[in-house]
Structure 1
Amino acid sequence: MPPAEPAATGPGSRPRNVVQLGAVRMVATSRLADDVAEQIRQLIITKDIAEGARLPSERHLAEMFGASRPIVSQALRSLSLMGLVEIKQGSGAYVMRRPESAIATSVNLMLDLDKQSLSHLVDLRLWLETLGATEGLRHAESNLADVRSALQRLKESMAGGTSAWIAADTLFHAAVVRTSGNPYLASIYEAIHTAIISYEYDDWVSSDRVPDWLLPSNADAQMAIHKPILDALAEGDEAATRDAIRHHHEVMLQHIARSRQPD
């Protein structure tokens, strides 16, 4: 892990315990936020930045990449969709975990070229999560500790804001699929999941406008579509597991439809 930045010494100085990312290339393309997000993702990998480490402030990241603070904010929101970064209001952005080797770039490109393929992608997400969960049920050594921990984090994240919830949601579903014990399945699933929620939450990423279903007043409704998945897995009930995942899928379809409605 790279060394921490020096302690703050006065006004305008960097806060304590912020990791240094080192040299970066200046961003000069039409998709600045995507480029910044990808550079930060790669730096988390190459610099071996630990979970829980705080990234430099948005201001310092903007200086490093030669981009505006709104572009950096958008990039960090994109990373939170992947469950890689958690944005804590008034504190900064923190690394939640190291990225998996993903095929997200090619999936996103395909979706960009053919928006009509979204329905196929959403179906594939359902099949992959169902497969991961049911395979997990068939492995006596499957451990649900990560799924339980992820659900608890999801429950607590509503108080932390939209970024915290979305990141925790990604971690929960990834943990469900990882019970299969197959890292390739988990990696493919995460790439598909990220592409879909990037589409679902495009308005939030680009404008920081929170969708109504993620308002604190809807926290119970959100938990009600996630907890049954863990309950069914814990009971070893394959039919109930399939039903719980299917119900979550149907609610996600509703959210996607609502996110595409004009203001």
Structure 2
Amino acid sequence: MDKVVIPQEKKQYQEIGRDLRQKIQQGHFAIGTRLPPERNIAETYGVSRTIVREALLMLELEGTVDIRQSSGVYVIRIPNENAEEEDPILHGEVGPFEMLQARQLLESNIAAFAAKMATKTDIENLRRTLEQEQRAIVANDESGDNDKMFHLLIAGATQNQMLLDTVKSIWQRREASPLWQQLHSRIATKGYRLKWLADHQNILAALRRRDVMGSYQAMWQHMENIKGTLMELSDVDAPEFDGYLFESVPIFQGKLV
């Protein structure tokens, strides 16, 4: 019997980021020059544009480039040859869009299951969390963590500890991710918090109705809204781009096809 080979972790964005860094080191792009458009980079490496975005975020995080919305990506520093060894923080790091994809697939199904399993206490706790977030937004209070709590409460409403632990694990990884923090800092304003609050209210309304498909759709759309916003903010050379991140998992009339 042939030996089963376990797939190894592949971080394409890191490979592309390293290659772009090397090109900068070799003088292909001088300080102050603009890198090729994101679409061109994606075509050159034969990858999706979300992977290119993650590679550019990696270079921005290390201080090599500056991403300027609606302008482009500019070289601001020539990294030395030991740049990666000096800053190993991104070794093995999952990209923010890959992380968001996992959340969309998992948490949409969790919301659907929670619509069946949630107790009155679960629904009440979710309602109180949204009220707390609404008050925090009005007061410009950024100290709370109501967003995270809302998603954990939904996972807990499934009455399945394994699902709750899985969602907790993803959030812990998100909080420890420098790339995610770099990207998420752009959507932490009051306006975006109000947008996510409205999404959460739609999810809660579906859960209250015990609407399984409605809960699935509301959570899927919430993640889609986050993705779309992040794509728009990070797609500096084509802000009108509206392609789907998860083309391998299309959704049609509330069902995966």
User: TM-score with structure 1 length normalisation?
Assistant: 0.47
**Radius of gyration: which is bigger?**
2
Higher RCO structure (Cα 8 Å, ≥6 apart): 2
